[in-house]
Structure 1
């Protein structure tokens, strides 16, 4: 995996300075870090005099609460890349996370700058600005903006804070530096309380009822050497609900008493599952990578196809192959 160095930061900034037009690509099923990263880059690039467009390679709209992030409404849903000098992917832990744009990005890797914080990112651009220890991709972008001499204003700070507060679980995990960055962003005058309400606290009655139906089916299961809390969110239950509500399901099982891990199987389309893994005992990014996904040491995910029985069996087999130690 490509490691971060000051030289990479300089090379990333040089790519941006040389470009006149830029497409900033966020990952499919966007979260606040993805949308905040795209939006922060759009605003910053325009401050630098660049033509910039934000795109996500999927047909379905992302969660409405993410539209509270400045410039989020300008992000386009697309199946092709615009003609630009430079492509910047943000918060995409692997090229498949760029969705419908992945083939074009693979072909244009020499025109692609990858900005990310996922430990499993292999790097798929001509320059890969990867800082696995960073709490969010917006944290990485803050370092890049410093290199580009882009001063923070309230809107850019709002975008950066959106990724930081959500990817740290409202500052429950991360380095001391995350609080220093939060303080810097808050000094621009952002309303941190309202950002938290918009991105974390706000929910609808129908979404809350859906969460209740899924949680009613929670069970504990021995998966390999682990005791896991498992949720299965079938398509007919989660269809039509916000991405934010569906993604929040894993928060209820990430640290259930008496378990070592949390697993959520989300049926995004018939027979197509997005699997979220959480653990403070094992490196779940290794598990996710083995199954074609990626992520962080305590939080990762992957996608799979088939019946729920076969998908669950594949996860158990992957853990067994890896020889995951018994946490007891």
Structure 2
């Protein structure tokens, strides 16, 4: 596959007089790391820049050790008008949450992403579906721009790379090459990975016990591929951070009897408002498995073939019924 041309991104960033960088709601390390890496370069060039996300109100604890978090501002502090608005790792305008209205007042909008389901909602869209992470796309943009990747920028990019590859379980050609290059700046890859992916408060354990106890298997779902799902209710998450909730899908997906995994996560602020994480995998013979990006898109979300999600409302019965209908039955 021919690499996506990143020149349009370089051109718009090179001419920018002020920049707002928006990450998606419930941010992960790829969106935050990509946003902070790019913001550091713009600050180095003397361009006024801020980074933000709509929700939750605070940056997840696991990401607070990333460099340049001083460039993050609350959602209500994001300028109403800006020369260039950049969206990073966001497949659709809706994933910007309450900040999507900033798209309309920006002079120019740039979308940088790697999700196949991206709706190309910017005036300029640099979407590389072959990239394993948006951090990898940012690295290519910086190279084309002639901007060096120093240790702090490498830290942010490595955070995005290691999380979106699941500690390099799901890599693409070039993933390890980029990792080696970033590690060569002197960052501590093991410490970054441990902080982001392998450190949880004790409250995670009883929450996990309760949620995993709700898991159900529907073996005939998805035309016989099988579905395993779990429900995370708002009262289950009172003592844990958002990243603890997000980690559940990686345990549910290990079920051998189901190719598709789903976790229904109820909003902490609104009853019966949910975000849904979907995962699948290739068949054992190497042929493509269930495309959960198509499933998520049909339900108002998006993502990758094997990792996607969407937001919805209703009872758990409604959620399951709609998901099963979209997945298909034998």
TM-score bucket of the superposed structures, by smaller chain: over 0.9
User: Within 5 A, what are the aligned runs for 1:116-127?
Assistant: 116-127=113-124
- Residue 48 of structure 1 corresponds to 45
Secondary structure of the 2:86 match is: strand
Cα offsets for 1:134-185 (capped at 9, x unmatched): 1111000000101111101100000000000000000001113100000000
Cα offsets for 1:182-215 (capped at 9, x unmatched): 0000000000011011101111001222112111
Secondary structure of the 1:39 match is: helix
Decide whether aligned partners of structure 1 residues 300 and 59 sit closer, same or farther in structure 2, where only a CA change above 3 A counts.
closer
Secondary structure of the 1:111 match is: strand
- Measure, in 2, the Cα distance between the counterparts of 1:51 and 1:39: 13
Note the C-alpha offset of 1:240: 4.4
- Measure, in 2, the Cα distance between the counterparts of 1:184 and 1:5: 21
- Residue 31 of structure 1 corresponds to 28
Structure 1 runs of 4+ aligned residues shifted over 3 Å read none
Q: Does the 8 Å contact 1:290/1:318 carry over to 2? A: yes
- Measure, in 2, the Cα distance between the counterparts of 1:168 and 1:146: 21
- Residue 15 of structure 1 corresponds to 12
Q: Does the 8 Å contact 1:255/1:261 carry over to 2? A: no
Q: Runs of 5+ in structure 1 lacking a partner?
A: none
User: Within 5 A, what are the aligned runs for 1:1-328?
Assistant: 5-6=4-5, 9-58=6-55, 60-79=57-76, 81-82=78-79, 83-105=81-103, 107-108=104-105, 111-221=108-218, 222-225=220-223, 226-268=225-267, 269-280=270-281, 281-320=289-328
Q: Runs of 5+ in structure 2 lacking a partner?
A: 282-288
Q: Does the 8 Å contact 1:157/1:185 carry over to 2? A: yes
Cα offsets for 1:273-328 (capped at 9, x unmatched): 111111112110000000000000001000110111111111112123xxx7x6xx
TM-score normalised by the chain length of structure 1 = 0.93
Note the C-alpha offset of 1:110: 5.5
- Measure, in 2, the Cα distance between the counterparts of 1:240 and 1:292: 30
Aligned pair count?
317
TM-score normalised by the chain length of structure 2 = 0.92
- Measure, in 2, the Cα distance between the counterparts of 1:274 and 1:289: 13
CA-based RMSD: 1.6
- Measure, in 2, the Cα distance between the counterparts of 1:180 and 1:283: 28
